[in-house]
Structure 1
Amino acid sequence: MSTQGLSIPALRVGPRPQALVASLSGISRDRPSLSSLLLTTLAIGIAVLDVWLVIPEDAPTYSLVFSSIACAALAWRKRLPFLTVLATIPGFFVGWSQLAAMIALGFLAYRKGMHWQTWVGAGLVVACRFVLWPWSEMVALDWRQHVLDFIYGLVVAGMPVVLALLILARQDLSRRLAELDASRDRERRMHARAVRADERASLAREMHDVVSHEVTLIAMQANTLECAKTPHDVAAAADTIRQLSTRTLEELRSLVGVLRSATDEELPAPQLTDLGALIRDVDVPVRLKVDNVPETLPSQISAAAFRTVQEALTNVHKHAPGAAATVQVAVDGEMLHVAVRNDRPHQPSRSLPSGGHGLAGLAERALRLDGTFHARATDDGGFEVRADYPLRTSTAPNT
């Protein structure tokens, strides 16, 4: 039975998970936590104790009422911090709820920071400490006492504000440190990924250079073996295939050994001094020109130049059978120039697999060494590969 075109109505088995989570989050926000309740109880308790310890027996009723309102208003310090400060001002001015006003001002500064409401609240607290009630008591004081009252008012208002701002600064610093740690973790992860990607790319280039060249030679010798007519030719081709296979396995074992090694051992890299052996083994007529090349070159540059020649000759094997090649290696000033040029093919191209990664790998090598790479078809039907490498010391890893 086909279900195409069959529509099944959706079944509602309860609220959606998102709506449920949102509703639960709203409930948790509306309900104060246990720590908040304890903090509110402690603040109100301390404010009540402060009033109870200093209130005289003959205190007027209105001062008791305003002081009680100031203490009770602390319950709203989180939701309405500015109104809470305003509610504590009458009790501080005509009563004895100084500590309640200080607590309310501290929470206001903690919630608002350097907001205008904080400055207004601080100014009101300073005024309540400086201006005395009843007025007759204030008028009876001399100027020295007025100065002291003003200083004490600044201290009473400044202390909770400074404490709240210090707490905010500490929280902001902790948040910034956490963000910095998270940023460093991201950078470390990105660096680790970049290192792994670089290592994979380096390994891929080495595997391609080793396997592609050697297996191409093995394929050529297998073709020779197929066309051999005498036992001597068969034995020679088979012996060459055996030698090439052994050498390929040895190089692959060397690469695998580097991968399994726990040290920072570098991948094995050939040098320009190995060009002679490469040209002798390759089944292509090669004319080699070396001009002004010093005996010692930077290892990275030498390996990249060798791989350039190796890949170019391998491509001649694959795509230009019977063509002759010219290899030119020269140093001009601070640059090493490598060029491989082949004639037009004299035989049909052999159907050997090619992934197109060889030239891309050579371009990557040149780019990593601040060099240039060019590959193009020539007007006479051949092909040319050219790479230029600066001879200054490079900081790129060995490839």
Structure 2
Amino acid sequence: MSTGLTLWRRVPPWVLDTALVALAVLDAWLNLFDEDTTSFMRACAAMGCVALFLRRRFPLAVFVLTLPMLLFMDVAVAPFAALYTLAAHTRHRPLLAGCALLNAAASTLTWPLSDTFSGDRTWTLIQFAYTLATAFAPVLIGQLVQARQDVARQLVEVEEAREHERALHAQTVLARERAQLAREMHDVVSHQVSLIAVQAGALQVAAKDPQARDGARAIRTLSVNTLDELRHMVTLLRASGGKETELTPQPTLADLQQLIANSGIQTTLTGELPPHISTTAQRTIYRTAQEALTNVRKHAPGARAHIHLWHDAQHFGVTVTNTAPTRPSVPLPSAHHGLIGLKERAELLYGTLAAEPTPQGGFKVDLRAPSRPA
């Protein structure tokens, strides 16, 4: 089954359209042997068949062009193909219902129109109900195909979101381990080395033996150099959050534009932050925007996002809002680790993080931090 679908998708569209037009022409030709057939009827049939070449670009117009031929002949290929294409390309169900009614009406009416109700009107009503039910068949098939495409697209988005979430979780765990190691090195090792340096300095001053003073000076120098190396290592550990095999700096505000460009979401960026903002604050602003855009991609497919940087005399922050999704989303399992991590980052700045839905059906993430922590 899957192999057959794969081979079918590999067929070029123009080949399918040509075969469909040929089948529609054959269907119309079988109805043109009547001696009452006029040139106008042939022109309507030709117009309805040839229009199928444009059904992918102008599905509604092509469907309308196939209606006249239904008044003169009992054909099915061209109108049904046009109706199916329209159903596969639009989500306007009232429009599809109206087109199905038009198709059934055109199939029921006869030319000249005065002959339509000259016979048994009950039979005419029965024929209309039958053709209407038949007309809804391509509509339902087209809607099913459209739903299948939506599900396939959502499955791809789900897999991408899960992969992204796994990567973020791995980075978060790695960053926590490195932060813990950095705290241990800063609080324990650096403290012990500092004591060694202090004791060596005191020994250097108090010692009367030149060799003892030289030894104390060497110990003090090595301790100071070791402290410098430890501070450098602690800085790298705290700033690293990338792959396990490399120590790269965390992103800052300068990387926001690249984040927006790589997000795959229609996003606008406005506002600015106060000058000389700390690196930690820049990193928190960036991670807030990153997590908000990730949630938009996961839970609001097709939505637009807006990132607003702001500051006043006492506070600064970022507000990320998104519109309502334009496509249905698939519920994903989530432990909300991303928002929890953002709240922890906000608390390090003595700030707050609020995340809540908007009245318009979207979502808003708002980070607020004091310019000068108390």
* TM-score, normalised relative to structure 2: 0.48
Q: Choose 1 or 2 for highest CA Rg.
A: 1
